[in-house]
């Protein structure tokens, strides 16, 4: 499919709203789910690498990128259901699900809601694995943050932050990477609809105290799932310890660190991330979970807890 090989955008109508996704390559399907204020565009280098052996689908989450920004439900479950509906619309039954940051939380929620559709799970600097998160995100979740976001997202200020970051990075300063990341995050917030969607999405998972949505009590459900966790070695947004602790709780889990990357490995070290993903896909078999298997997993956990109480 020539258009797909170029990672071009496609559009479908989901429940009366525009949903945009990008496709590259052919073969078994890999779904790449971006994080907060990112979009499918940010996966381009990784997608092109994986497209040699896989069909890569990268959606714009509702409220992000080129998708619609309606008033509505921006919870992890709602995002996961929208991805399920998108995949159904374009004829994809099962896939390897990859999520970055907020997208990691969405990916886990997708697995929990639709295990029959999940063949592997990859979490990249993922949310939902611990309480701690950067003060910047906690502050953005405060009531009354919208006027401040509108002020700091002005084009002139964002351009100045981006330029300063580029100059610092050219001098070898690690602070340049973080300034560029801040500019990249602020730029989409110039649009009122995107700003509203960002705040609704953020407050669904984070408050002033940190992340208030956790998947740690359900990691046991990943017992038979081939799982990969990847973290940027310089991540200051979500601690790498969250990933290390999750690795210990998931039986069939690999853990990889990308020393050159901070919180955005797909942008800061896309070649390194693509290499790790390609190896994981090549050396693991897709998992197929049926309803009877899922019932057995939950029942086994319930029995072990009853024995512990007894």
Give the residue numbers annotated as catalytic, written as ranges: 101, 235, 263
DSSP per-residue codes, 78-138: HHHHHHHHHHHHTT---EEEEEETHHHHHHHHHHHH-GGGEEEEEEES-SSS-S---HHHH
Spatial distance between the Cα atoms of 247 and 220, rounded to a whole number of angstroms: 11
Q: 10: helix, coil or strand?
A: strand
Contacts of 217 (CB under 8 A, 6+ apart): none
Spatial distance between the Cα atoms of 31 and 10, rounded to a whole number of angstroms: 15
Spatial distance between the Cα atoms of 182 and 211, rounded to a whole number of angstroms: 20
The residue assigned the tokens 């559709």 is 117
**Cβ atoms within 10 Å of 189's Cβ, excluding its own:** 22
- The alpha helices in the chain, defined as continuous H runs, are 2-5, 44-50, 76-89, 102-113, 135-140, 145-152, 155-170, 175-186, 192-203, 240-249, 265-268, 270-283, 291-309
Spatial distance between the Cα atoms of 266 and 276, rounded to a whole number of angstroms: 11
Could you tell me if 67 and 20 are in contact, meaning their C-beta atoms sit under 8 angstroms apart? Answer: yes
DSSP per-residue codes, 29-58: EEEEE--TT--GGGGHHHHHHHTTTSEEEE
């Amino acid at each position: 499919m020539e258009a797909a090989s170029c990672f071009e955008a496609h559009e479908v109508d989901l429940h009366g709203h525009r949903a945009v996704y990008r496709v590259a390559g052919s073969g078994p399907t890999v779904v790449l789910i971006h994080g907060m204020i990112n979009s499918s565009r940010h996966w381009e280098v990784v997608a092109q690498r994986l497209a040699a052996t896989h069909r890569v689908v990268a959606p714009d989450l509702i409220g992000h990128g080129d998708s619609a920004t309606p008033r509505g439900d921006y919870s992890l479950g709602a995002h996961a259901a929208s991805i399920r509906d998108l995949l159904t619309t374009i004829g994809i039954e099962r896939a390897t699900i990859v999520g970055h940051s907020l997208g990691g939380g969405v990916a886990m929620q997708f697995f929990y809601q639709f295990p029959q559709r999940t063949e592997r799970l990859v979490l990249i600097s993922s949310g939902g694995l611990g309480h701690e998160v950067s003060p910047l995100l906690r502050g953005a979740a405060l009531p009354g943050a919208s006027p401040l976001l509108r002020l700091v997202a002005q084009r002139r200020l964002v351009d100045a932050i981006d330029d300063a970051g580029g100059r610092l990075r050219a001098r070898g300063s690690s602070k340049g990477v973080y300034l560029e990341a801040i500019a990249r995050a602020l730029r989409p917030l110039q649009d009122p609809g995107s700003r509203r969607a960002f705040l609704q999405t953020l407050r669904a998972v984070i408050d002033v105290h940190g992340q208030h949505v956790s998947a740690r009590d359900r990691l046991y459900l990943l017992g038979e799932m081939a799982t990969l966790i990847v973290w940027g070695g310089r991540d200051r947004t979500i601690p790498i310890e969250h990933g290390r602790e999750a690795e210990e709780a998931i039986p069939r889990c690999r853990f990889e660190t990308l020393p050159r990357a901070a919180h955005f490995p797909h942008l800061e070290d896309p070649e390194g991330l693509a290499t790790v993903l390609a190896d994981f896909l090549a050396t693991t078999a897709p998992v197929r979970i049926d309803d009877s298997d899922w019932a057995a997993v939950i029942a086994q956990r319930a029995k072990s807890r009853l024995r512990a109480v007894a």
